[in-house]
Chain A
Amino acid sequence: MAPLLSTPDFPIWLNLLTAVLIGIGFGFALEQAGFSSSRKLTGMFYGYDTTVLKVFFTAAIVALIGAQFLSYFGLIDLHRVFVNYYYVLPAIIGGIIMGVGFVMGGFCPGTGFSALAIGKIDALFYLLGGLLGAWIFAEVYPSISEFANSGFKGPAKINEWLGISPAIFSMIIIMMAIAMFWLAEKAEKKFARPDITNEL
């Protein structure tokens, strides 16, 4: 359970049990926000339903502030939190591929599982397609490995790149988030489609 409670040595089964419980909580949160419906998810792309933006951005902000408060109280060591490595061009290409798949399929991997849990058959095929994509990537990897590892910038953080403290950066992010939620409300009125968001 590092970076939280770093000193005691927890047995492996306790760490895995915590992971299972957190996963159950995550799936519950997705399902009760309505993200098992591919209409809600692609609504973010076409503009008529911006629930995804609001839910995920709010979760990110709460995690951001929560982590920094916990670091202040000494419960988390923020230096031990893993930051993903940033590869410039491969991240862009990967994002494009992921985005195309998201809109075409109407799910992303996490919501695909929560939709499968409520019995949607198209979620099953979406996940099988995801596995196929992973297999293709593994087969093709030797020839693209050079490109896939280019542009390595290490664990880059925006606030370090800009040179401002994490707390001020959180404040900027929160103000940006509130502005984006307000814009999202306006977009919903503009791109509204008749009666589509009331069905699941």
Chain B
Amino acid sequence: MNIRVILSICLLTLSVILVFLPLNQNRKDQPTPFQQLELLSEKEQGVSVDLAARYMNENDSTIQFIDIRTPAEFLECNIPGSINIPYEELLNKEWQGYLNQTAKINILYANGVIKSNLALVLLNGKGYTNNDVLKGGMNEWFTTVMNEEEFIGERLTARENSIFENRRKARMLFTEINNAPDSLKNTFLKAKIIEESKLDGGCE
């Protein structure tokens, strides 16, 4: 056989072998679990309470607040517009639709700092990238945003003014929705879940 026939047969055989090989076998540039943990401790984590208040005021549709406390604590008071995924149920199948997506950024919050950061480590380990925490949790929210501070000084700078307005509006929204009777809160939450599931489409 001349060289051309040999070459053609070689190339064809190689391509047939290729058909049965999986593509993207080893991604060497994907970080190992230890590197992932290091990356986590380097990044500045946390959405400040003022920023969260702004997101809530403007009903920002690219942000989703997730309350990881128990349902009882959630019903007592929560950031309006947030959904409740208890910490123990974070890896359950029914919540993966909220956690494993790239459309919205999830902001996890609890009363303090520890649980939300633990939840963040958990979700990062699973490879979900669009998650963040609320710096200081609900405790910080109450001391900063809900605290009606007195103004000291002669003139108000534009920045202080905007922070003040932001917090005042957040306070109004927060107290209004959280003081609604329990039944109303439940229906508000259910309506939100139903509306979002309708947007999904497809089979259950």
B1-39: contact bitstring with A at CB < 8 Å (1 yes, 0 no)? Answer: 000100110011011101111111111110000000000
Is A102 among interface residues, defined by CB-CB distance under 8 A?
no
| Contact B27–A74 (Cβ < 8 Å) | yes
A contact residues around B12 at 8 Å (CB): 171, 174-175, 178
B146-168: contact bitstring with A at CB < 8 Å (1 yes, 0 no)? Answer: 00000000000000000000000
CB within 8 A of A171: which of B15, B23, B24? B15
A contact residues around B15 at 8 Å (CB): 65, 167, 170-171, 174
Is A137 among interface residues, defined by CB-CB distance under 8 A?
no
CA distance A185 to B4 in the complex (A): 12
Identify the closest chain A residue to B14 (Cβ). A65
CA distance A177 to B51 in the complex (A): 60
Is A73 among interface residues, defined by CB-CB distance under 8 A?
yes
CA distance A166 to B23 in the complex (A): 9
In whole Å, how far is B24's beta carbon from the nearest beta carbon of chain A? 7
**Chain B CB within 10 Å, residue with most, of A69, A165, A167:** A167
| Contact B21–A167 (Cβ < 8 Å) | yes
CB within 8 A of A61: which of B11, B22, B25, B26? B11
* Chain B interface size, under 10 / 10 to 19 / 20 to 34 / 35 or more: 20 to 34
A58-74: contact bitstring with B at CB < 8 Å (1 yes, 0 no)? Answer: 10011001001101111
| Contact B14–A71 (Cβ < 8 Å) | no
Whether A167 touches B28, Cβ cut-off 8 Å, given contacts A68-B23, A178-B8, is no
Identify the closest chain A residue to B24 (Cβ). A71
In whole Å, how far is A176's beta carbon from the nearest beta carbon of chain B? 12
| Contact B11–A69 (Cβ < 8 Å) | no
Is A188 among interface residues, defined by CB-CB distance under 8 A?
no
Count, chain A residues at interface, CB 8 A: 25
Whether A74 touches B25, Cβ cut-off 8 Å, given contacts A68-B18, A69-B18, A171-B12, is yes
A19-34: contact bitstring with B at CB < 8 Å (1 yes, 0 no)? Answer: 0000000000000000
Is A140 among interface residues, defined by CB-CB distance under 8 A?
no
In whole Å, how far is A111's beta carbon from the nearest beta carbon of chain B? 23
| Contact B23–A181 (Cβ < 8 Å) | no
Identify the closest chain A residue to B4 (Cβ). A181
Identify the closest chain A residue to B22 (Cβ). A72
Identify the closest chain A residue to B30 (Cβ). A77
26 contacts between A and B (CB under 8 A): A6-B28, A7-B29, A65-B15, A65-B18, A68-B18, A68-B23, A69-B18, A71-B23, A72-B25, A73-B25, A74-B26, A74-B28, A75-B28, A77-B27, A77-B28, A77-B29, A78-B23, A78-B24, A167-B18, A167-B21, A167-B23, A168-B19, A171-B19, A174-B11, A175-B12, A178-B12
Starting from the known contacts A72-B21, A167-B15, A178-B8, 9 additional A-B residue pairs (CB-CB under 8 Å) come to: A65-B14, A65-B18, A69-B18, A71-B25, A74-B26, A77-B28, A167-B21, A171-B18, A181-B4
- Top 10 closest A-B pairs, CB basis? A74-B26, A167-B18, A171-B15, A167-B19, A170-B15, A72-B25, A178-B8, A65-B14, A72-B21, A174-B15
What residues of chain A have their CB less than 8 Å away from a CB belonging to chain B? 6-7, 58, 61-62, 65, 68-69, 71-75, 77-78, 165-168, 170-171, 174-175, 178, 181
